[in-house]
Structure 1
Amino acid sequence: MNNCGNPFKALFPKKNNAHLLSLLNDFETSLTVSIAQLVPKDNDENGFLTFSWMVHAIHSLCETHQSITTLVTDLDVHVSDMEESMIYMHGDISVKLRQLCTAFNSELCRLNHRNLLLKIACRKPEAFSLSQLDGWRQHMASKNPRIEICGEVLSSLVESMNHHHSLYKKVKKTKENEKEKVLLRALYGAQVETLYIFSVFYAAFTGSSKNLLYLIIPKDMEEVPWGQNRFMVIKDLEAVESGAENFCTAVQEGLVPNLLMVEPLKKSVMELSERVDRVSKEMSCLSDVVSSARDTLFKRLMTKFEDNKKNTIS
């Protein structure tokens, strides 16, 4: 990562409140570190699409959106004409993020159901029939309708991010509204990280690198420390599917599988179930955190709006 100094120094006049600048630095530094940790190392032969990476990625997003909640409270932003548009935009983004969380969790549930079939096979391999094998393969080949629409949702979020940037440029030109500059910058950064991670999830669950989003960060924003990342299948799934196919081949060839034969498959299935559960738990946490951040922002801005309204009437 290049050392580009203080990324927010040009946003504010020198006379600006040091506390405000400190809030900006703290959030952006944390965000930069989080994103840098998500990028795979060049010598990582296994790539980054593992369930362990997914757990780390969603946990990172939870921390980012929790930081947004804290920032909104610390900033105590005043109401302006721009904020009504921001409220609607942020509300729409929150709904779409929760929609993506629900879709990804539904795919994780499907993976667990698929794993359940293999767990049954591992317990009594000698009793596992060809019809059960066909059921597993059909489940493998089926598509999840909720995942299918994720591409449209992600594309609409990219449009929202671009609109958000337009709002940021508008307020950045003013000599006032310094707290709004901080908030818009932070919200934009959170959107970038969220889209980066959710794009990887979508590509992984659809099995296509074509579904990766390549986000274009405007020149007037600080450069984000990501490079182009290679795409791989989810390694945890690859191990299970390979073991399951070997097991299927043995049954089709008339061999009577025993517990020793399925032991490697059993181990990979149990590990996968545990990891899927961890990702699902983090995804549910993220959905709750996104809602909390949205509610905090709405409450803060609406409270300010009502206060200003009362003062105007008085």
Structure 2
Amino acid sequence: MSRPHDGHPPAFPFGNPFRMIFPRGSWLSSKLVGLLNSFEESLAERLKKLKLKDQGDVLSLSWMRLAMELLSETHADVKDLITDLQFPVADWDEKWMDVYLDNSVKLLDICLAFSSELSRINQCHLLLQCVLHVLDSSKASPSREQLSRAHSSLGDWMKQISLRNPKLENCSTILHGLHDSLHLTKVKNSAKGKVLMRALYGVKVQTIFVCSILAAAFSGSPSPLVDLHVSDKFLWTEAFNDLLANVNGVIRNPISNGNPTQLKELEVVESSVERLYAMIGSDGNGLVEEEALWNSVSDLRKKLEKLSQGSDLLSKEVEGFFQIVLIGRDALLCNLRVDDSDSDIIIDSNVEQQVVR
């Protein structure tokens, strides 16, 4: 027998969907749930875009550029969400601000390390450009002196590219520290605060994931990689877990077999350099077949151009992400200074009134 009602059908015939999103005891208006759902659905779509079509793409510059681009979009979304929530900095818990400011400094350090490594790759690129120039300077077969100079430059390149950037070592420490502090902050008596903290948690998960892979690719080491485990209560959880399974096999399998991670475009350039280096010989006096030499030079030029273009595009994305983080940090500090100034004005006004009395 059906239960009596006032003539209106129940609002949620299959149960309250809000309860599936937030734990018992929480309540959010439909507007706040809509804002959060929109944010989390967008995050889920970005994570889906990062799934690999080719198993070698994860350590490629094109995948890394896309990952940084999507990460920037998510950080920009948080800024828009705060505006839509109409949640002024004055209402932020002091602990939230401390965590946000601390994390933003760490992200800026990571960006600087990535930029430093891309700059180092570009500087090494100049050595190979020198090799190509020397070998192309004569339409005939290169002289013994030219081959010797090219061989020396190739050797210098291999030595320089094998060096490890100390700034990348710090990335591993930073990322593991961010992971250790990764938790969904509990918020009391603030519906908007709950939405904000939940959104920031999603941003932090995506940030750690993307930056750890880039750091591993740049450093050639698995140490920056972290194990991320996410609750199934988020709208982006399924997309994230699928991505994690998709990417981890590509990165962790070579590591388990004793092979280091390496940037894809850099790896193919290195192979081309090693072949040309061996072909020329230590004193430039080896027997070099002209056609084989030009084929090797042409192959190196094509691969070097792809590496250069890819690193330039990734550098722009890293710089763009750096600016987003920096602008967000400056905006928070600016708002805090305004709040402090307003407080000082109120205090001065009260003192003045007391004096007049």
* Superimposed CA distance per residue, residues 76-108 of structure 1 (whole angstroms, 9 cap, x where no aligned partner): 225678611111110010000010000011111
Question: Helix, strand or coil: the match of 2:164?
Answer: coil
Gaps of 5+ in 2: 1-16, 136-141, 252-260, 351-357
Note if contact 2:40-2:234 (Cα within 8 Å) is conserved in structure 1. Answer: no
Q: Is it true that 1:97 corresponds to 2:107 in the alignment?
A: yes
Which structure is richer in relative contact order (CA contacts within 8 A, separation 6 or more)? 1
Note if contact 1:76-1:300 (Cα within 8 Å) is conserved in structure 2. Answer: no
Distance change in 2, residues 1:29/1:218 (3 Å): closer
Q: Where does residue 246 of structure 1 map in the other structure?
A: 275
Task: Count residues in correspondence.
Answer: 300
Q: Where does residue 188 of structure 1 map in the other structure?
A: 201
Note if contact 2:272-2:296 (Cα within 8 Å) is conserved in structure 1. Answer: no
Question: Helix, strand or coil: the match of 1:209?
Answer: coil
**Greater Rg by CA:** 2
One-letter code aligned to 1:77: F
Report how far residue 246 of structure 1 moved.
0.6
What CA distance in whole angstroms lies between the structure 2 residues aligned with 1:297 and 1:7?
Answer: 32
Q: Where does residue 114 of structure 1 map in the other structure?
A: 124
Report how far residue 155 of structure 1 moved.
1.5
TM-score by length of 1: 0.84
Note if contact 1:94-1:294 (Cα within 8 Å) is conserved in structure 2. Answer: yes
TM-score by length of 2: 0.75
Identity of aligned residues (%): 33
Question: Mean Cα displacement is larger for which, 48-57 or 150-159?
Answer: 150-159
What CA distance in whole angstroms lies between the structure 1 residues aligned with 2:83 and 2:94?
Answer: 18
Distance change in 2, residues 1:78/1:140 (3 Å): closer
Question: Helix, strand or coil: the match of 1:161?
Answer: coil
What CA distance in whole angstroms lies between the structure 1 residues aligned with 2:341 and 2:325?
Answer: 24
Report how far residue 203 of structure 1 moved.
1.1
Question: Mean Cα displacement is larger for which, 253-262 or 18-27?
Answer: 253-262
Distance change in 2, residues 1:22/1:246 (3 Å): same
Note if contact 1:123-1:259 (Cα within 8 Å) is conserved in structure 2. Answer: no
Q: Is it true that 1:143 corresponds to 2:164 in the alignment?
A: yes
Q: Is it true that 1:21 corresponds to 2:33 in the alignment?
A: yes
Give RMSD over aligned pairs.
2.9
Q: Where does residue 40 of structure 1 map in the other structure?
A: 52
Gaps of 5+ in 1: none
What CA distance in whole angstroms lies between the structure 1 residues aligned with 2:313 and 2:20?
Answer: 36
Note if contact 1:199-1:212 (Cα within 8 Å) is conserved in structure 2. Answer: yes
What CA distance in whole angstroms lies between the structure 2 residues aligned with 1:154 and 1:108?
Answer: 19
1:53 aligned to which of 63, 85, 109? 63
